[in-house]
Amino acid sequence: MLYLFGLALVTGFVVAVAAVAGSVSQARAIVAALEATARQPEAGGRLFTLMILGLAFIESLVIYCLVISFVLWGKLPAAQEVLKSLGAG
């Protein structure tokens, strides 16, 4: 039963933690790119391209966490099965 509790807890928090970490990472990447562009405006086009590429990689990690959460959610048994194994249903 402790395994099921842990699995349910992880499926709920994995997307939230990934979203927070991804948004903080994206914010730091954007700030760094804007500061670099302010210091050296002629490199703005190249920095913009690299920033967009970096943001895509960060967002892909968040999407992978969402997929993992869906996979873990599929491993959870139905509520009726849990209640039956506890003797409550």
pLDDT digits (tens, 9 = 90+) for 52-75: 999 999 999 889 988 888 888 887
Please give the DSSP secondary-structure letter assigned to residue 43. Answer: G
CA–CA gap between residue 25 and residue 56 (Å, rounded): 11
CA–CA gap between residue 68 and residue 58 (Å, rounded): 16
**Per-residue confidence (pLDDT) for residue 89, from 0 to 100:** 56
**Per-residue confidence (pLDDT) for residue 40, from 0 to 100:** 92
| DSSP helix/strand/coil, 89 | coil
The answer to whether the Cα torsion of 47, 48, 53, 59 is positive or negative is: positive
**Per-residue confidence (pLDDT) for residue 5, from 0 to 100:** 79
Q: Give the HSE-up count for residue 7: Cα atoms under 13 Å, Cβ half-sphere.
A: 12
> Which residue ranges in the chain fall short of pLDDT 70?
88-89
| CATH, range 2-84 | 1.20.20.10
Predicted structure pTM score: 0.69
**Per-residue confidence (pLDDT) for residue 74, from 0 to 100:** 83
